[in-house]
Amino acid sequence: MRFPPSRRPAAPRRLAALLLAALLAALPATAAPPRLPLWPGTPPGSEGLRLPQRVVERSADPAVPDRYVDGIGAPFLAVYRPERPDGRALLVAPGGGYQRVVLDKEGSALVPAFATDAGITLFVLHYRLPGEGHRDAADVPLADAQRAIRLIRHRAAEWGIDPGSVGVMGFSAGGHVAASLATRHAERVYAPVDAADARDARPAYAVLVYPVIDMGAHAHPGSRRHLLGEAPDAASVRRHSLQHRVDAHTPPVFLLHAQDDAVVSVDNTLLFAAALRRARIEHETHLYAHGGHGFGVREARGTLALWPRLAVAWIRAHAPLPGAPAPAQD
């Protein structure tokens, strides 16, 4: 039986409308986030370099992107602002062995748990890589991290952020970037370029997930090679082994590691936790029997999958917003 156009069943039309609505609702999630360049011109230490940026997609599933980037000559922040921001911000340093920066698994994949659900504004750092010809190469990632947190604080009013509630999160080699910022925030690794550089670079807290910490006996070989070269001297190894850089000015730290990590030994987290304990820095250490390396958010299974909730609760306790009641003391 044929229906005239005005009398066709409503169900197919309703289904089409629902599919269109779902498609439109998905567009903001897939759209590229706003970019905030870190430096007003050529970054310090990168003068004369011409690096062709390369983005590589490793996933065959368009719904689960897994990109990485290298050839980073113009570092920037990808800004993920939730619909209902709570006033806190998190500078995120993804991993990649100091050879690349992983964009999704330890970057955009954090958005549902940390931005959408928790209301934290995320700034994912596309930092320069030390093996790509920059001057003072080993300190280039730290320079970008220092500049990033200063810039976030300088422009906090634009995003409704409390400048005192900006923390840092790092994964793997990005954990080394984040831990460097936590321990070396006061160290001058570049000359100021504008008013933003008057801001404090000390993060309010640090969340370190399977972090590279040591450059000595427990180093991840690839991270050490790309950061310090093939045969670093003892002074360079010690300077960049961050368990030796903890002091009274190190912020509170949340540590997370799987004990079966065959890429970055759990000893990295244990060394850093011991240094924090000696310095009497408040910290929380979560060790899991299983999980391996690089699980991020998407590949965490079992009780390990709960880690984002634990981290968010810890962040809220250690970055109270102005006017919020102080957390209860034990």
Question: What is d(CA 315, CA 207) in angstroms, rounded to the nearest whole number?
Answer: 8
Give tens-digit pLDDT for 117-135.
999 999 999 999 999 999 9
Residue 263 forms part of a structural domain: yes
DSSP 207: E
Q: Could you tell me the pTM of the whole model?
A: 0.88
What's the pLDDT band for 158 if we cut at 50, 70, 90?
A: very high
What's the pLDDT band for 321 if we cut at 50, 70, 90?
A: confident
Q: What's the rounded mean pLDDT across residues 41-56?
A: 94
Number of structural domains (the chain) is 1
Boundaries of domain holding 310:
72-318
Residue 297 forms part of a structural domain: yes
Residue 80 — φ and ψ, nearest 5°? -115, 100
Question: What is d(CA 231, CA 243) in angstroms, rounded to the nearest whole number?
Answer: 21
Residue 61 forms part of a structural domain: no
Residue 315 — φ and ψ, nearest 5°? -60, -45
What is the token pair recorded at 155? Answer: 């422009």
What's the pLDDT band for 322 if we cut at 50, 70, 90?
A: confident
Supply the DSSP string of 89-130, one letter for each residue.
EEEEE--STTT-EE-TTTTGGGIIIIIIIT-PEEEEEEPPPT
Residue 24 forms part of a structural domain: no
CATH of the domain at 255: 3.40.50.1820
Residue 206 forms part of a structural domain: yes
What's the pLDDT band for 330 if we cut at 50, 70, 90?
A: very low
What is the token pair recorded at 308? Answer: 């984002």
For the ranges 40-54, 208-222, 314-328, the lowest mean pLDDT is seen at 314-328
What is the token pair recorded at 224? Answer: 């050490």
Residue with the larger pLDDT of the pair 330 and 249: 249
Query: How many degrees, rounded to 5, is the angle at CA 68 between CA 218 and CA 120?
Result: 85
Helix segments in 186-249, DSSP class H: 221-228, 234-239
Residue 42 forms part of a structural domain: no
Supply the DSSP string of 267-321, one letter for each residue.
HHHHHHHHHHHHHT--EEEEEESS--S--TTTT--GGGGGHHHHHHHHHHHHSPP
Closest CA to 78 of 46, 123, 133, 120: 123
Residue 47 forms part of a structural domain: no
Residue 1 forms part of a structural domain: no
Supply the DSSP string of 59-79, one letter for each residue.
-S-TTS--EEEE--SS-EEEE
